[in-house]
Amino acid sequence: MKRLLLLITLIIPFSFSSFVHAEQSKESTPAADTEEARLSDWENFFDDSLNELPEELDIAKEEGKKGLLIMFEMDECPFCKRMKKTILNRSNVQDYYKDNFRIISIDTEGDLELIDFKGETTTQKDFSLKQFRVRATPVYLFVDLEGKPVKNGRLSGATKDINEFMMLGKYIAEKHNEEMTFTRFKRNEKSKEQE
């Protein structure tokens, strides 16, 4: 009986402190702090696609976009999942990127048929590996309205946070990629913030 009482007296305080900590964590998330960082479904980040890239370019032109953003990903990629759960699900991210780019996702292990920028039929897997040498994911590739990768328009790996991903969009949309590398652009942006 003494053991049972001892066990109960130890469990209750730990359970309560875990509950309080969980509630405090919820309150301090960026989604709770600002309206612009409200959460949305990450699938809204991507445009519906029939895997016909020439058609995607035509739609991007009609909609006045600056080009395409292709996210190369795979189902079991932990960094892709982290990006989707923490960054791509933010409505301010979705709004900014959708204003500037047509966004599609390509599965680097996918056997779905795809029509590439030259109008040739291939698979998502072959398109990823043979045409763009994508082996690890995620890879973000920006393509101009002619179907050519833009200068300095490829980022491999997940971004550190939402700010870095937003900086990436600005870097391409405002054509800073034609003047400098993304690393240099980030450094310049951070020094402006500190002034």
Ranking 13-17, 40-44, 160-164 by mean pLDDT, the lowest is 13-17
Kindly tell me the number of DSSP H helices and DSSP E strands found in the chain: 9, 6
pLDDT at residue 192, as a whole number? 84
Please check the confidence at residue 89 and state whether its pLDDT lies above 80.
yes
Percent of the chain predicted with pLDDT > 90 = 71
Q: Which long-range contacts (CB under 8 A, 24 or more apart) does 58-67 make?
A: 59/102, 60/101, 60/102, 60/145, 61/145, 63/102, 65/100, 65/101, 65/102, 65/145, 66/100, 66/101, 66/144, 66/145, 66/172, 66/173, 67/101, 67/102, 67/142, 67/143, 67/144, 67/145, 67/150, 67/172
pLDDT at residue 2, as a whole number? 56
> Thinking of the domain 35-194, which architecture would CATH place it in?
3-Layer(aba) Sandwich (3.40)
Of 67-71, 87-91, 187-191, the range with the highest mean pLDDT is 67-71
Average pLDDT over residues 88-108: 95
Average pLDDT over residues 8-23: 45
| Every domain of the chain and the residues it spans | 35-194
Please check the confidence at residue 33 and state whether its pLDDT lies above 60.
no
